[in-house]
């Protein structure tokens, strides 16, 4: 059914805890797996050496994604770190690589973040392909 799945991860502990569910889905469908982590813009006025800071964040993110890639057996060529809007970058990459399923996790939001909406919801509403959302709270049931 699905040939190419892209897992959008924020590299948080709860997101990385999804690795067993991700592996199971990939195995069920016999699909190829890609990973994406999107770095949202940081206000540049807050940092004197913004470019150095951006490079460090990029390198750290690539290293963390590579670690997750090893756990999920995803080659480096199928691992992407992008800058920008999580929703837009994830959808654009899914279209670029012809992914037919986007896998995201949804974390509980509070306050203003809940009012504005989640990245998972934005992807769900805008993607042209199927989107599978795993609620982070469901991970407690797997223990």
Q: What is the pTM of this model?
A: 0.86
b/e string for 67-102 if b means 16 or more Cβ within 10 A? ebbeebebeeebbbbbeeebbebbbebbeeeebbbb
Beta bridge mates, 104: 8, 133
The confidence score (pLDDT) of residue 116 equals 41
* Structure tokens given for 95: 């279209």
The confidence score (pLDDT) of residue 143 equals 46
**One-character DSSP codes across 11-54:** --HHHHTTHHHHHHHHHHHT-EEEEEEEEPP--GGG-TTHHHHH
The confidence score (pLDDT) of residue 112 equals 41
Dmax (CA) of the chain? 49
Measured between alpha carbons, how far is 12 from 45 in angstroms, rounded to an integer?
Answer: 26
Measured between alpha carbons, how far is 82 from 86 in angstroms, rounded to an integer?
Answer: 9
Task: Give yes or no for a contact between 62 and 81, defined as CB atoms under 8 angstroms apart.
Answer: yes
The confidence score (pLDDT) of residue 106 equals 77
The confidence score (pLDDT) of residue 118 equals 81
Q: What is the mean pLDDT of each run of 10 residues along the chain (143 residues)?
A: 95 82 94 96 68 86 96 97 95 98 77 57 92 72 49
- Of 4, 3, 18, 2, the closest CA to residue 120 belongs to 18
């Amino acid at each position: 059914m699905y040939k190419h799945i892209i897992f959008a991860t924020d590299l948080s502990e709860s997101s990385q805890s999804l690795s067993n569910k991700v592996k199971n889905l990939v195995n069920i469908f016999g699909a190829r797996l890609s990973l994406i982590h999107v770095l949202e813009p940081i206000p540049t006025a807050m940092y004197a050496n913004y470019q150095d800071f951006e490079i460090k964040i990029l390198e750290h993110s690539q290293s963390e994604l590579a670690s997750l890639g090893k756990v999920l057996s995803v080659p480096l060529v199928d691992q992407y770190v992008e800058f920008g809007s999580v929703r837009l970058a994830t959808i654009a990459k899914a279209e670029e690589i012809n992914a037919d399923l986007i896998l995201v996790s949804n974390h509980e939001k509070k306050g203003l973040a809940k009012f504005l909406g989640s990245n998972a919801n934005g992807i769900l509403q805008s993607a042209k392909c199927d989107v599978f959302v795993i609620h982070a709270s469901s991970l407690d049931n797997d223990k």
